[in-house]
A and B are shown apart, each in its own frame.
Chain A
Amino acid sequence: MRILIVEDEPKTGDYLKQGLIEAGFVVDLVRDGTDGLHHGLTEPYHLIILDVMLPGIDGWAVLAGIRHAGRDTPVLFLTARDHVDDRVKGLELGADDYLVKPFAFSELLARVRTLLRRGTKASAAEFLHVADLELDLLRRRVTRSGKRIDLTAKEFALLELLLRRQGEVLPRSLIASQVWDMNFDSDTNVIEVAMRRLRVKLDDNFEPKLIRTVRGMGYVLENPDCA
C-alpha cells in the first residue's frame, strides 16, 4: 500500500512518515502543494494525506486538481482549524475523511486503514477467529477453547470491532464512536472499565492473553504467538 503525505510542517511530516512506514506502508512525503499535486497526478497512490495549510497552492487546490483530473484516490485531510465550513468544504471537494490537529497517531492510523479497506468488500463471514477464540456473528455467540462466554450486547460489539481490526491499535475515541456511537470524549474512564470487564471474561481463565493495552495509545487484540 502506497501513501502520499503532503505536509509542510517538518516535524509532523517526518513523524507521520516514520509512523506509517513502521505500520507497513510505503510512504512518500512532499512539503508543498505544487509537489503534492504533481505527485498525486503522476504516481499511483492508494491514499493521500493532505494538510490544508500549505505553501504554494493550498490543500483545497491540490484536492480539486486531483479530482479534476478524474483520480478518485482516497484523500484524508488534516486541518488545524475545527470549523464546520472547513469540513464541509473538504468533503464537498471530494475528500474522504478529515482529522483535526492535534490528533492521536493511532486515530490517524485507524482512519487510514478504514479508508484503505473501503472498496474491498467487508467479509460476509459468519465467524471471526483469533487463536482459540471464535465469534459467531449470526448466533451472536462467543466461545473460547470451546467454552461459551456470555457477553452483553455492547461487549459483543466491542469484541467484534477488536476482532475485525485485529493487530491494529484502536484508540479510545474510535472505540467509543464505533461501539457506542459517542463521538466525543468522556471524562469518565468508560472505555477502560468496559475493556477491563471484557478481558476478565475473555482472558482471565485462558492463555494466551489476547487483548493488550498499549499505554497512551489504546487497545489491540492479537494472538501474541503469531505477532
Chain B
Amino acid sequence: MRLTGRTSITRRLTLLFVGASSTVLLALGLVIASSVENHFEVLDMEVLAGKMELTRHALAILKSQDDLDNLGQQMDHSLVGHHGLEVMLVGTNHAVIFATQNAKFSPDLVIDNATKRPHRPTLWKLGDQTYRGIAAELPTGIDAGVKVYVAVATDIAQHQAFMRSFLQTLWLFVAGAAALSGLLGWFAARRGLAPLSAMREQTKAVTAQQLSYRLPLESAPIELAELAQSLNEMLARLEEAFRRLTDFSSDIAHELRTPVSNLMTQTHVVLSRARSADEYRDILASNAEEFEHMGRMISDMLLLAKAENGLVVPSQEIISLADEVHALFEYYEAVAEEKNLLLSLEGDGKVSADRLMLRRALSNLLSNAVRHAATHTALWVRIRTSSNNVSICIENTGETIPHEFLERIFDRFFRVDPSRHRSSEGAGLGLAITKSIVVAHWGTISVDSVDKVTRFTIRLPRAH
C-alpha cells in the first residue's frame, strides 16, 4: 500500500496504527513463543540428562557381557513412572542391546548422533511422533572396554500441541488487536482531524461576494493555526485583487460613459435636422477625435490590466538613460520652447530594460512635468548611479501638489484637478502606466512636492 499521493489522512493514520500495533504484538508473541519453546527444551534436557546419567551408572557397574545382556530388566525398573521416555542402547556392532517399547530408532542414527553431537538435543521423527533426545557413547564396566551407544528420548507431542494452540491464540490475538487498533486509530484520526473538517466547513462560506470572511485563528489547533493564517493571507490577497478587478471594470465603464454619452448627444443633435456639409464635417471630425481618445484609453487600460497580472518585460537590453532622456528632450523640445522651459540633464546611468517600455515610462513623466511646469522655469532630469541602483529624478517647478493627492497620484484615472479634463490631460492613466512599467522592471517610483518643486524619482537596479 502506497501511503503517499491521494490517500486520505484518516486512511493513512488508520493503516499506520494497524501496521504499528501488529508489528509490536507479533514481535512480542514471537519472543514469548520462542522462550516457551526454550523453556520446554530446558525441562526436557534436565530429564534426559538425568536419565543419561542413570544409564551411565548402570553401565559402569557392569562386569561382564552377561550383565550387559540382562541390563534390560534393570532398565525397565528404573524407567517406571516415566511416560513417553524412551531409552535405546546400541552396541558397537549396531545391534540393539535394549530398547523401550516405542524406541524404534534406527541404530545408525543413534550411533551417528552419539559420535557427532554427543549430549546435544536433537529432534527425531518416528512415524508421526516427534522425539527430543540425546545420544552418547558411554563406557561400560566390562574389562574389554566395551562401549555402548545410548539414546534417551522423550515424546514432545504434548509440547507441540501446546505450542500449536499457543501460536493459534497468538495469531488470533494479533489479528484481533490489529482490527481493534485500526478501528481505534480510525476513530482517533477522525477525532484528531475534526478541526480540519471544521475549517473546510468554514471555507465553504467564502464566495466572491464574501471575500472578507476570515478563518477564526483562536479556535484552531496550533498545527492548523499557521495554515489558517496562510489561508487568511491568501484570502486577503484575493480580496485585494478582486477589489482591484472590480474597480478596474467600474473605472472603465465609468470613464467610457462620458465620451459615449457626449458622442451620442452630439450625433443625435446633429441628426435632428438637416445641416450644411461643413457642419457635418465638423461633427465627424470631433467624433473622430473622441473615438481616437477612447481607443487610446482602451489600449492603455489593456496595458494596465496586463501589468496587474504581472507585466512581462518583453525584451531586455542595456540602456543608457541619458541617451533616452536626450531623445525625449528632442520630442518635447517644441512644447518646452513654447513655454520657455529649459530642459536640463545631469548625469547618466545604465539599466537593463525594455527600451520601448522604459521610454514610455519616462515620456509620461516628462510630459507630466512639461505640462505642469510654470513658464520660464527649468525642468531638471538628474540621473545618479549608486553601487546597486540608478535613480532618475524628474523635477519641475510649478504648483505644489497637496499632500493628500500625492498618495493617489499613481492611481488609475486620478487627476489632481478633476475639472481639467480629458482634452488637456489624457485619461489620467499616464502615471499609473509609468508605475507599472517601473515595477515590472523591479524598480520603485516615488513623488514629493515641496515649495512649488515637484519631483518624481525612479529607482531601477543598475545594469552591470
Q: Is the CB of B333 within 8 A of A185?
A: no
Q: Is the CB of B288 within 8 A of A215?
A: yes
> Which of A153, A182, A183, A188 is B335 in contact with, Cβ under 8 Å?
A188
CB distance from B343 to the nearest CB of A (A): 13
Q: A186-B363, A187-B367, A215-B289 are in contact. Are A100 and B299 (CB under 8 A)?
A: yes
CB distance from B381 to the nearest CB of A (A): 16
Q: A82-B302, A102-B295, A189-B335 are in contact. Are A154 and B287 (CB under 8 A)?
A: no
**Please, which residues of chain B bring their CB within 8 A of the CB of A187?**
364, 367, 425-427, 430
Determine, out of B166-174, B209-217, B324-332, the stretch whose residues face the partner at the interface.
B324-332
Q: Does A26 contact B (CB under 8 A)?
A: no
Q: Does B60 contact A (CB under 8 A)?
A: no
In the complex, which residue of chain A has the Cβ closest to the Cβ of B289?
A216
Q: How far is the CA of A182 from the CA of B332 in the complex (A)?
A: 11
**Please, which residues of chain A bring their CB within 8 A of the CB of B292?**
104, 216
Q: Is the CB of A152 within 8 A of B286?
A: no
Q: Is the CB of A190 within 8 A of B332?
A: yes
Instruction: Classify the secondary structure of B's interface with A.
Output: helix
Q: Is the CB of A194 within 8 A of B334?
A: yes
Q: Is the CB of B338 within 8 A of A193?
A: yes
Instruction: Classify the secondary structure of A's interface with B.
Output: loop
Q: Is the CB of B332 within 8 A of A216?
A: no
Q: A187-B367, A215-B289, A216-B289 are in contact. Are A182 and B331 (CB under 8 A)?
A: yes
**Please, which residues of chain A bring their CB within 8 A of the CB of B287?**
216
Task: Number of B interface residues at 8 Å Cβ cutoff, please give it.
Answer: 39
> Which of B288, B299, B334 is A190 in contact with, Cβ under 8 Å?
B334
Q: How far is the CA of A216 from the CA of B425 in the complex (A)?
A: 18
Q: A84-B314, A185-B296, A216-B285 are in contact. Are A190 and B331 (CB under 8 A)?
A: yes
Using a CB-CB cutoff of 8 Å, which residues 147-203 of chain B contact chain A? none
Q: Is the CB of B330 within 8 A of A154?
A: yes
Q: Is the CB of B285 within 8 A of A184?
A: no
**Please, which residues of chain B bring their CB within 8 A of the CB of A153?**
330
CB distance from B313 to the nearest CB of A (A): 11
**Please, which residues of chain B bring their CB within 8 A of the CB of A126?**
none
Q: Does A180 contact B (CB under 8 A)?
A: yes
Q: How far is the CA of A4 from the CA of B327 in the complex (A)?
A: 39
Contact with A along B57-73 (1 / 0, CB 8 A): 00000000000000000
Task: Number of A interface residues at 8 Å Cβ cutoff, please give it.
Answer: 27
Q: How far is the CA of A216 from the CA of B363 in the complex (A)?
A: 23
Q: Does A128 contact B (CB under 8 A)?
A: no
In the complex, which residue of chain A has the Cβ closest to the Cβ of B303?
A82
Contact with A along B35-57 (1 / 0, CB 8 A): 00000000000000000000000
CB distance from B256 to the nearest CB of A (A): 13
Q: How far is the CA of A104 from the CA of B290 in the complex (A)?
A: 12
Using a CB-CB cutoff of 8 Å, which residues 300-333 of chain B contact chain A? 302, 312, 314, 327, 330-333
In the complex, which residue of chain B has the Cβ closest to the Cβ of A180?
B331
**Please, which residues of chain A bring their CB within 8 A of the CB of B360?**
184
Q: Does B406 contact A (CB under 8 A)?
A: no
Q: Does B371 contact A (CB under 8 A)?
A: yes
Q: Does B274 contact A (CB under 8 A)?
A: no
Q: How far is the CA of A190 from the CA of B430 in the complex (A)?
A: 15
CB distance from A132 to the nearest CB of B (A): 25
Q: How far is the CA of A102 from the CA of B291 in the complex (A)?
A: 9
> Which of A152, A182, A184, A215 is B333 in contact with, Cβ under 8 Å?
A152
CB distance from B374 to the nearest CB of A (A): 16
Q: A104-B292, A184-B360, A216-B285 are in contact. Are A82 and B333 (CB under 8 A)?
A: no
In the complex, which residue of chain A has the Cβ closest to the Cβ of B433?
A184
Contact with B along A167-190 (1 / 0, CB 8 A): 000000000100011111111111
Q: A82-B302, A84-B314 are in contact. Are A188 and B356 (CB under 8 A)?
A: no
A-B contact pairs, 11 of them (CB 8 A): A100-B299, A102-B291, A180-B327, A186-B367, A187-B425, A187-B426, A188-B335, A188-B371, A190-B335, A193-B335, A216-B288
What 14 additional pairs, Cβ within 8 angstroms, besides A188-B371, A193-B335, A216-B285?
A82-B299, A102-B295, A102-B298, A182-B359, A184-B359, A186-B363, A187-B426, A188-B367, A188-B370, A189-B335, A190-B332, A216-B284, A216-B288, A216-B289
> What 7 A-B pairs are tightest by C-beta distance, nearest first?
A187-B426, A216-B288, A215-B285, A216-B285, A188-B367, A102-B295, A194-B334
